[in-house]
């Protein structure tokens, strides 16, 4: 039996206890308490300023909400399931504490616009944190790129050795991805940044409210323009989940590479012991658990995006209770993305790069074959013809278990008389890397300049 309901007037029967539990969101939406209180304070101040409620009531409301805030933060606030959600838990407690004034707080407002403003305030803060973590990860990548400048590794296509590249160039590829992720967060924060409060339940309110004043109090640069849309829109949450899904996709690709590079077959890097675990049976094992887990957590973020898209699909305007299901996927995504970025930033900073193993792998697999072809092109041979000539020399080398740079001058001449002794210096790993000097290439000077540009926070748009 629940007599404490704030909406009990119309009802003659008490809510079934299981229905109460089933429909309640307090177990998870209590996370919104700070934002709910902040929104309520701004609303109350506006009501007072507009003469809708007495100033004395505003003072009592603000003081009462401050008290509730400190109780929740101290862990002494009793949340009640029969009060359904964070909004009614706080409001009921406020009225119990300050009486009549507390009961005036909800004037000109509905939980529909209240929850909309709460989630926007919450997500706006969290997006800021996600961006900070992205910056930290970028810093770690730049740190490794700078520290290992000059280290050569094989670049791959189809996971087959393709051409030698700088390890730093590989790190900067991830910097590009994470900077785009940051840009996506910023974009979606811009669209989120409008005040929905004042929409009431769906149609607006009969009271002479001042939405612009509330917006200014809550640092929203504008107010939403349609009350129906204001309470039924969750695009900002979907955009955050989409941006987060792409971000996690990037982390999963990075994870996969770190896992491969940690194998004894590659042996390109060593992750610090604090990011790995052992096996309970095989004493030799050191497992890259952190990247594996992040790779796995990508699935839950994609799932969260699908969950909310499906919740919102075909919902009629305006608010529907279905939308209460927006919170858990959002909260889970915030936790997953922040946790994954934080742990990656630290793990990358502590990663040890095995330059010799990378170099040795780069020298295998005929990674300089394109450079021989380019050499021939510079003598005037058409590229397609050069490709054919080098293809034959690679096959010759495979049969004799040789590398291209081990062919004698006579053997080279057998493939083309255009090849002279300067072929040897043209196809070293360094020459191969440093010849790729155009913007975006892997040449040492190019990568060094890119690191400097990125350290200054350059816009990669
Ligand atoms: N707990 C609800 C939610 O999260 C708050 C809004 C409820 N509005 C309503 N009319 N029942 O969506």
Q: Which residues contact 279 (CB under 8 A, 6 or more apart)?
A: 285, 287
441: helix, strand or coil: coil
Q: Are 141 and 131 in contact (CB under 8 A)?
A: no
Q: What is the pLDDT of residue 457?
A: 83
pLDDT digits (tens, 9 = 90+) for 371-408: 999 999 999 999 999 999 999 999 999 999 999 999 99
Query: Residue 1 pLDDT more than 60?
Result: no
Q: Are 201 and 290 in contact (CB under 8 A)?
A: no
pLDDT digits (tens, 9 = 90+) for 298-337: 999 999 999 999 999 999 999 999 999 999 999 999 999 9
Q: Are 77 and 44 in contact (CB under 8 A)?
A: no
d(CA 136, CA 181): 13
Residue minimizing CA distance to atom 4 of ligand 1 = 324
pLDDT digits (tens, 9 = 90+) for 28-44: 999 999 999 999 999 99
For residue 194, what are the β-bridge partners? 222
Q: Are 343 and 275 in contact (CB under 8 A)?
A: yes
Tell me the best of 36, 89, 112, 325 to mutate to test the pocket of ligand 1, counting ligand atoms within 8 Å of each CB and taking the most. Answer: 112
d(CA 422, CA 411): 14
Token pair 């020298």 is found at 363
d(CA 162, CA 172): 18
Tell me the best of 31, 84, 321, 328 to mutate to test the pocket of ligand 1, counting ligand atoms within 8 Å of each CB and taking the most. Answer: 321
Query: CB within 6 Å of ligand 1 — which residues?
Result: 25, 29, 85, 111-112, 115, 319, 321, 323-324
Q: How far is the CA of 37 from the centre of ligand 1 (A)?
A: 16
d(CA 358, CA 3): 71
Residue minimizing CA distance to atom 11 of ligand 1 = 321
pLDDT digits (tens, 9 = 90+) for 166-179: 999 999 999 999 99
Q: What is the pLDDT of residue 383?
A: 96
Q: What is the pLDDT of residue 461?
A: 40
Residue minimizing CA distance to atom 1 of ligand 1 = 85
By DSSP bridging, strand 352-353 and strand 222-223 are unpaired
The model's confidence at residue 4, banded by pLDDT at 50, 70 and 90, is: confident
Q: How far is the CA of 325 from the centre of ligand 1 (A)?
A: 10
Q: Does domain 112-151+167-214+221-354 have CATH number 3.40.50.300?
A: no
Which pair of tokens denotes residue 88? 């009614």
Beta strand extents in 5-159 (DSSP E only): 152-157
| Catalytic residue numbers, as ranges | 158, 279
Give me the residue spans of the domains in the chain: 2-107, 112-151+167-214+221-354, 361-455
Question: Would you give the end-to-end CA distance of the chain in angstroms?
Answer: 58
Q: What is the pLDDT of residue 281?
A: 77
Which pair of tokens denotes residue 249? 């996709």
Where are the alpha helices (H) located in 75-110, listed in sequence order? 86-98, 100-104
pLDDT digits (tens, 9 = 90+) for 403-435: 999 999 999 999 999 999 999 999 999 999 999
d(CA 372, CA 423): 7
Q: What is the mean pLDDT of the chain?
A: 95
Q: What is the pLDDT of residue 277?
A: 81
pTM: 0.94
Q: How far is the CA of 119 from the centre of ligand 1 (A)?
A: 12
Question: Which of 3.40.50.300, 2.102.10.10, 1.10.40.30, 3.40.190.10 is the CATH number of 361-455?
Answer: 1.10.40.30
The model's confidence at residue 15, banded by pLDDT at 50, 70 and 90, is: confident
> CA neighbours within 13 Å on the CB side: how many for 52?
19
Q: Which of 451, 304, 461, 436 is nearest to 374 (CA)?
A: 436
Q: How far is the CA of 25 from the centre of ligand 1 (A)?
A: 9
Q: Is 172 exposed, middle or buried (0-12, 13-18, 19+ CB in 10 A)?
A: buried
Instruction: Report, as an integer, the average pLDDT of 110-131.
Output: 98
Q: How far is the CA of 86 from the centre of ligand 1 (A)?
A: 10
Q: Just give the CATH number of 2-107.
A: 1.10.275.10
Q: Which atom of ligand 1 is nearest to the CA of 85?
A: 1
Query: Residue 83 pLDDT more than 60?
Result: yes
pLDDT digits (tens, 9 = 90+) for 125-168: 999 999 999 999 999 999 999 999 999 999 999 999 999 999 99
318: preceding bond cis by omega (within 30 degrees): yes
Token pair 């990378």 is found at 358
Which pair of tokens denotes residue 146? 């700078």
Residue minimizing CA distance to atom 12 of ligand 1 = 324
The model's confidence at residue 460, banded by pLDDT at 50, 70 and 90, is: very low
Query: Residue 2 pLDDT more than 70?
Result: no
Token pair 């495979």 is found at 398
Where are the alpha helices (H) located in 313-428, listed in sequence order? 327-350, 355-363, 369-378, 383-400, 409-415, 423-426
153: helix, strand or coil: strand
Q: Which atom of ligand 1 is nearest to the CA of 323?
A: 12
Residues in the chain: 461
Token pair 């101040």 is found at 45
Instruction: Report, as an integer, the average pLDDT of 266-285.
Output: 86
Radius of gyration for the chain, computed over Cα atoms and rounded to the nearest angstrom: 31
């Amino acid at each position: 039996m629940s007599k404490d309901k704030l909406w009990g007037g119309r009802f003659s029967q008490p809510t079934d206890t299981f229905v109460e539990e089933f429909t309640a969101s307090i177990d998870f939406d209590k996370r919104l308490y700070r934002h709910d209180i902040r929104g309520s304070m701004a609303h109350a101040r506006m009501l007072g300023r507009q003469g809708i409620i007495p100033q004395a009531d505003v003072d009592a409301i603000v003081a009462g909400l401050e008290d509730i805030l400190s109780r929740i933060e101290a862990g002494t606030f009793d949340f009640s399931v029969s009060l359904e959600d964070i909004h009614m838990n706080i409001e009921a407690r406020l009225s119990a504490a300050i009486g009549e004034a507390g009961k005036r707080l909800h004037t000109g407002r509905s939980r529909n616009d209240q929850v909309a403003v709460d989630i926007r305030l919450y997500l706006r803060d969290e997006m800021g944190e996600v961006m900070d973590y992205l910056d930290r990860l970028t810093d770690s990548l730049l740190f490794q790129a700078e520290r290992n400048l000059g280290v050569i590794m094989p670049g791959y296509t189809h996971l087959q050795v393709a051409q030698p590249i700088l390890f730093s160039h590989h790190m900067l590829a991830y910097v590009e991805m994470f900077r785009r992720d940051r840009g996506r967060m910023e974009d979606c924060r811009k669209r989120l940044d409008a005040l929905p409060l004042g929409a009431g339940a769906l149609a607006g309110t009969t009271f002479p409210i001042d939405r612009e004043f509330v917006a200014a109090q809550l640092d929203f640069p504008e107010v939403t323009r349609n009350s129906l849309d204001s309470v039924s829109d969750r695009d900002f949450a979907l955009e955050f989940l989409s941006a987060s899904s792409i971000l996690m996709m990037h982390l999963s690709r990075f994870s996969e590479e770190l896992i491969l590079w940690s194998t004894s077959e590659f042996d390109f890097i060593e992750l610090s012991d604090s990011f790995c675990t052992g096996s309970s049976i095989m004493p030799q094992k050191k497992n890259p658990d952190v990247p594996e887990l992040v790779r796995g957590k990508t699935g839950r973020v994609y799932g969260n995006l699908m969950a909310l898209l499906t919740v919102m699909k075909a919902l009629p305007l305006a608010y529907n209770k279905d939308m209460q299901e927006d919170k858990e996927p959002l909260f889970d995504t915030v936790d997953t993305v922040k946790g994954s970025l934080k742990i990656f930033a630290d793990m990358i900073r502590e990663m040890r790069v095995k330059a010799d193993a990378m170099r040795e792998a780069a020298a295998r697999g005929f990674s300089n074959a394109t450079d021989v072809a380019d050499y021939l092109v510079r003598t005037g041979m058409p590229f397609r013809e050069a490709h054919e000539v080098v293809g034959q020399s690679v096959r010759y080398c495979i049969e004799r278990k040789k590398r291209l740079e081990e062919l004698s001058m006579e053997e080279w001449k057998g493939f083309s008389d255009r090849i002279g002794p300067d072929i040897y210096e043209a196809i070293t790993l360094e020459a191969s890397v440093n010849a790729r000097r155009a913007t975006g290439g892997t040449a040492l000077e190019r990568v060094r300049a890119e690191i400097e540009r990125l350290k200054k926070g350059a816009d990669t748009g």
